[in-house]
């Protein structure tokens, strides 16, 4: 059983330039930041290495960091421009009983993260949901399309902080 600092050291020796840092300020657990286009290689190492054996991905969640600047678009409503969207991975090992949290961040204008579909099959629907709610494109995902919203929803990505509701959808009034 290893603690997060040891895992960070092990990862740093293996993938020097891909691991961006460890954030120890959070109250519950340190978070390791990883480069978004290399997360699949890091995931394979974490799953197959004998000392780590992270064979289960507990949850994969997209987050809108809302750390850009507020601008007003043509209707006068608040939009956010710049800033990042992040994806958090919580991993767990059923044999060795340790846990770790990873984080990747991508720019809001063109969010692209590599998919970990080949490492943990759990990520199939979780990544589709992150795409549906935030618009994060997962590269090399076999079937990336909307999962919770209707397939022809064109009004944007609902969980972003600057999302606006459409007035009508197929003849039905959406607001109250």
Partner 1 sequence: MGLLDKEFSDGNIVIAKVDDLMNWARLSSIWQLGFGLACCAIEMMATSASHYDFDRFGVIPRNTPRQADAIIISGTVTLKMATRIKRLYEQMPDPKYIISMGSCANCGGPYWEHGYHVLKGIDRVIPVDVYVPGCPPRPEALLEGLLKLQEKIRNESLRKKIA
Partner 2 sequence: MALKTETMVLNMGPQHPSTHGVLRLELDIEGELILGVKPHIGYLHRCFEKHAEAMTYPQVIPYTDRLDYLAAMGNNFGYVTTVEKLLGIQIPERVEYIRVIMAELQRIASHLVAIATNGADIGALTPFLYLFRDREYILSLFEMTCGARMLYNYMWIGGLSHDIHPDFVRKTKEFIIHFRPTIVELNNLLTFNKIFIERTANIGILPVDTAINFGASGPVLRGSGLPFDVRKEDPYSIYNRFDFEIPTGKGLVGTVGDCWDRYYVRVLEMEQSLRIIEQAIDKIPEGDVHSAIPKRIKPPKGTVYSRVENPRGELGYFIISDGNLNPFRVKVRAPSFVNLELMGELCKGHLVADVIAILGSLDIVLGEIDR
Our CB check for partner 2 shows the closer of 37 and 44 to be 44
Dist. CA 126–CA 3, nearest whole Å: 26
Picked from partner 1, partner 2, none, the partner binding residue 170 (CB below 5 to 8 A depending on kind) is partner 1
Q: How far is the CB of 153 from partner 1 (least distance, A)?
A: 9
- Over the range 81-98, which residues count as b (16 or more CB within 10 Å of their CB) and which as e? eebbbbbebbbebeeeeb
Q: Which of 18, 66, 96, 149 binds partner 1 (CB under 8 A)?
A: 149
Instruction: Write out the two tokens for 146.
Output: 């909307």
Q: Which of 121, 127, 118, 107 is nearest to 60 (CA)?
A: 127
Our CB check for partner 2 shows the closer of 4 and 37 to be 4
Q: Which of 158, 161, 162, 167 binds partner 1 (CB under 8 A)?
A: 158
Contact map string, positions 131 to 170, toward partner 2, x by CB under 8 A: --x------------xxxxx-------xx-----------
Number of H helices, E strands in the chain: 3, 11
């Amino acid at each position: 059983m290893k603690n997060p600092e040891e895992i960070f050291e092990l990862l740093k020796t293996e993938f020097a330039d891909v691991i961006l840092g460890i954030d120890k300020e959070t109250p519950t657990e340190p978070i390791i930041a990883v480069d978004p286009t290399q997360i699949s290689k890091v995931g394979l190492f974490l799953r197959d290495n004998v000392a780590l054996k992270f064979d289960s991905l507990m949850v994969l969640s997209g987050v809108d960091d809302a750390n850009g600047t507020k601008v007003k678009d043509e209707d006068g409503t608040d939009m956010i421009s710049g800033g990042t969207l992040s994806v958090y991975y919580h991993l767990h090992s059923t044999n060795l009983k340790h846990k770790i949290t990873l984080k990747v961040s991508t720019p809001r204008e063109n969010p692209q993260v590599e998919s970990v579909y080949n490492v943990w099959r759990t990520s199939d629907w979780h990544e589709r949901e992150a795409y549906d709610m935030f618009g994060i494109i997962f590269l090399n995902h076999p079937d990336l399309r909307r999962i919770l919203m209707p397939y022809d929803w064109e009004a944007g990505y609902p969980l972003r902080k600057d999302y606006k509701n459409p007035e009508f959808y197929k003849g039905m009034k959406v607001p109250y």
